[in-house]
Amino acid sequence: MSYFRTALLLAALTGFVLAAGYVLGGQSGLLIALVAALGMNLFAYWNSDKMVLRMSNAHEVGPNDAPELFGIVQQLSERAGLPMPRVYLIDEDQPNAFATGRDPEHAAVAATTGLLRSLSREEVAGVMAHELAHVRHRDTLIMTIAATLSGAIGMLASFGGLMGGGRDSEGRPLVNPVVAIAAMILAPLAAMLVQMAISRGREYEADRMGAEICGQPLWLASALAKLHAGTQQIPNHAAEANPATAHMYIANPLHAGGLRSLFSTHPAMEERIARLEAMAGQMGAGHAAPRRAGTNPWTSAVPQAPRRGPWG
């Protein structure tokens, strides 16, 4: 997805905020919507990373706490030309990861302990490269704004339902009650669809850029297959308690089902893997698939990497 299209979708979300405010509250509702959107975005800009990390029960680690993970992120950051982000661990059995922060200078990457246990060193590198791609593209800020605007629309819809919409000086409703009810239902749904379009487009682009950063698309493709299986079988308690953070993870951490699958913010994993495999074929990297046997590199000596890999 191009930055132009992302900007249009964000503009559409902003328009939904203002329109919902006007329909549900007239001119005063429009003003409330504008103030709410600006206030929430300013707060999210400065505090979103802290909020997400706190909600995910993540704790910061250094080179002495998680040397393999820290070293991988450090080497990939250098390869991508990015400042070293803060590194966090989440004590969850589900294999997953996300990035947050308003810009590359204030970024953080987080991985679950289940991810380190389940994936090989190369696969973890593919996942971390994907997250660094989000940092490089400033997707963490874009998705924070999208989530904040969507939240504002939901808040306005609830407010309009409680207040019954705006009224004129004579006490008459400013809009037809049927229209107000429809706006309460459709505005959050439309916001969800726009947020989903933004998130899915950014995931595809992060997969592509992540594969370029680590140099091996099949590392990430193999990791995504394992993540997909893991998220279907193992719950993520922190994400289930705070579903607003789900769109930030590399794989949907919520147990899918019914409408939740239909409106997932993540693209189909099969399509993501197919695109990476096609990319590997174009790069001539089909021979560089991750090892599928041997000891877990997180509990044993680090194997020697190919000279052209990101560890050489």
The per-residue pLDDT string of the chain (312 residues; one tens digit each, 9 = 90 and over) reads: 456 666 676 677 777 777 777 776 677 777 877 787 778 778 777 887 888 899 899 999 999 999 999 999 999 999 999 999 999 999 999 999 999 998 899 999 999 999 999 999 999 999 999 999 999 988 877 777 776 676 667 666 666 554 445 555 555 555 556 655 665 666 666 666 666 666 677 899 999 999 999 999 999 999 999 999 999 999 999 888 887 778 889 999 987 554 444 446 688 899 999 999 999 999 874 444 554 433 333 333 333 333 333 333
Q: Which amino acid is located at 85 in the chain?
A: P
pLDDT, residue 162, reads 43
Among 210, 216, 204, which residue's Cα sits nearest to residue 272?
A: 204
Q: What share of the chain is helix, strand, coil (3-state, %, to 5)?
A: 65, 5, 30
pLDDT, residue 75, reads 97
Task: Copy the structure tokens of residue 32.
Answer: 């409330």
pLDDT, residue 183, reads 59
pLDDT, residue 301, reads 32
Q: Which amino acid is located at 76 in the chain?
A: L
Question: pTM higher than 0.85, yes or no?
Answer: no
Sequence-ordered list of residues with C-beta below 8 angstroms from that of 36, at least 6 positions apart, any chain: 17, 21, 152, 155, 156
| Ramachandran class of 258: left when φ > 0, alpha when ψ lies in -120 to 50, beta otherwise | left
Instruction: Determine how β-strand 58-61 pairs with β-strand 97-100.
Output: unpaired
Return the active site residues.
131
pLDDT, residue 21, reads 74
Contact (Cβ atoms closer than 8 angstroms) between residue 22 and residue 160: no
Cα–Cα distance, 266 to 136 (Å, whole number):
19
Contact (Cβ atoms closer than 8 angstroms) between residue 166 and residue 25: yes
Q: Which amino acid is located at 137 in the chain?
A: H
pLDDT, residue 98, reads 94
